[in-house]
């Protein structure tokens, strides 16, 4: 953050600020180096059919396997990657790894599951995104129906017409699109009709206080019923308790993702879950 200019409009550049700048430059270098040396790994969190309990998909969640700092969560590096534009390279890595992973599970007869990949604002605005997705699918030899791209509500609301055009381009590849963290932005449900979407993911802040917050329960209920009117599937994120799962199932929510079922896990651990057949 740049320091507020003083009364005379003069910016004081203090040693502390110099250190901060140096530190940031180092972190950017580190991120660049990590891209070069392939330090990003992808963990996967299962998405289960609410009625049958079967795993129908996984969400790809990036982690940075840092040589000194250990395994880092997205919150520790995605914001900087986003700010510097390096997220485009990181996102491409994740996309490629996720497509290969889904294909590998299919080829080896583990399971056929859809893989959902998060697309950041910078990536979404990048003109080459569609070409990148097409390339990743073809390199992995993955049928596009198995790939889902998650975009956030705030991202698409920034430039609605631009987002619609971009989404149609992606949709034409045969992939499906979902809105992540739904309910936290400002889209109206009538606006949603204009986007070529397959599903909505209810933000986990609405799920967290079920069954104690009747307001959240009412909102969740409304999101599920209106989504259904629009022909969209609904995924609940952050399902942590049986009670939440029961409530969500009663509202008609079709898919569950959350710690109650599984945390995001490395591929080998997810594979073990995929091999378990319910009943």
Binding site for Mg ion (CB under 5 A): 118, 150, 180-181, 237
Closer to Mg ion by CB, 161 or 186: give it. Answer: 186
CB of 152 to ligand C2E, least distance (A): 7
Q: Which does 92 bind (CB under 5 to 8 A by kind): ligand C2E, Mg ion, none?
A: none
- Long-range contacts, 172-175 (Cβ 8 Å, 24+): 173/130, 173/133, 173/134, 173/137, 173/144, 174/143, 174/144, 174/145, 175/133, 175/137, 175/144, 175/145, 175/147, 175/148, 175/149
Calpha distance 62→7 (Å, rounded): 44
Contact 223, 233 (CB under 8 A): no
CB of 212 to Mg ion, least distance (A): 21
Sign of torsion over alpha carbons 71, 76, 80, 85: positive
Closer to ligand C2E by CB, 17 or 72: give it. Answer: 72
Closer to ligand C2E by CB, 111 or 203: give it. Answer: 203
Closer to ligand C2E by CB, 20 or 243: give it. Answer: 243
Closer to Mg ion by CB, 8 or 75: give it. Answer: 75
Instruction: Tell me if the bond preceding 211 is cis, omega within 30° of 0.
Output: yes
CB of 259 to ligand C2E, least distance (A): 4
Q: Calculate helix-pair angle for 214-229, 242-251, nearest 10 degrees.
A: 40
CB of 4 to Mg ion, least distance (A): 30
Q: Which does 94 bind (CB under 5 to 8 A by kind): Mg ion, ligand C2E, none?
A: ligand C2E
CB of 81 to ligand C2E, least distance (A): 8
Calpha distance 58→48 (Å, rounded): 9
Contact 278, 53 (CB under 8 A): yes
Q: Which does 57 bind (CB under 5 to 8 A by kind): ligand C2E, Mg ion, none?
A: none
Q: Which does 153 bind (CB under 5 to 8 A by kind): ligand C2E, Mg ion, none?
A: none
DSSP 9: S
Residues 6+ apart with CB under 8 A from 10: none
Closer to ligand C2E by CB, 8 or 75: give it. Answer: 75
Q: Which does 87 bind (CB under 5 to 8 A by kind): ligand C2E, Mg ion, none?
A: ligand C2E
CB of 95 to Mg ion, least distance (A): 13
Q: Got the DSSP string for 200-243? A: EEE-HHHHTTTTT-HHHHHHHHHHHHHHHHTT-EEEE----SHH
Q: Which residues contribute to the site for ligand C2E (CB under 6 A)?
A: 45, 61-62, 73-75, 78, 87, 91, 94, 118, 120, 180-181, 204, 237-240, 257-259, 264
């Amino acid at each position: 953050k740049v320091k507020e200019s003083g009364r005379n409009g003069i910016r004081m550049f203090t040693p502390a600020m110099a250190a901060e700048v140096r530190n940031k430059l180092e972190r950017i270098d580190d991120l660049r180096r990590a891209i070069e040396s392939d330090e990003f790994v992808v963990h996967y969190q299962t998405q289960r059919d609410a009625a049958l309990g079967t795993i129908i998909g996984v969400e790809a969640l990036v982690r940075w396997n840092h040589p000194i700092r250990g395994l880092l969560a997205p919150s520790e590096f995605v914001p900087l990657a986003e700010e510097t534009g390096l997220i485009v390279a990181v996102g491409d890595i994740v996309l490629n790894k996720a497509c290969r992973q889904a294909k590998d599970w299919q080829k080896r007869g583990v399971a056929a599951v859809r893989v959902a990949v998060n697309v950041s604002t910078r990536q979404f605005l990048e003109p080459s995104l569609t070409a990148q997705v097409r390339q990743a699918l073809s390199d992995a030899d993955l049928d596009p129906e198995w790939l889902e791209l998650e975009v956030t509500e705030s991202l698409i609301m920034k430039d609605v017409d631009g987002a619609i055009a971009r989404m149609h381009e992606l949709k034409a590849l045969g992939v499906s699109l979902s809105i992540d963290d739904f309910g936290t932005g400002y889209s109206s449900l009538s606006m949603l009709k204009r986007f070529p979407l397959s599903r909505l993911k209810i933000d986990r802040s609405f799920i967290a206080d079920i069954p104690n917050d009747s307001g959240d329960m009412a909102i969740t209920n409304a999101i599920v019923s209106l989504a259904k009117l629009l022909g969209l599937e609904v995924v609940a994120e952050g399902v942590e308790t049986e009670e939440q799962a029961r409530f969500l199932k009663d509202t008609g929510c079709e898919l569950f993702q959350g710690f109650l079922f599984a945390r995001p896990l490395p591929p080998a651990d997810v594979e073990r879950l995929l091999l378990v057949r319910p009943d």
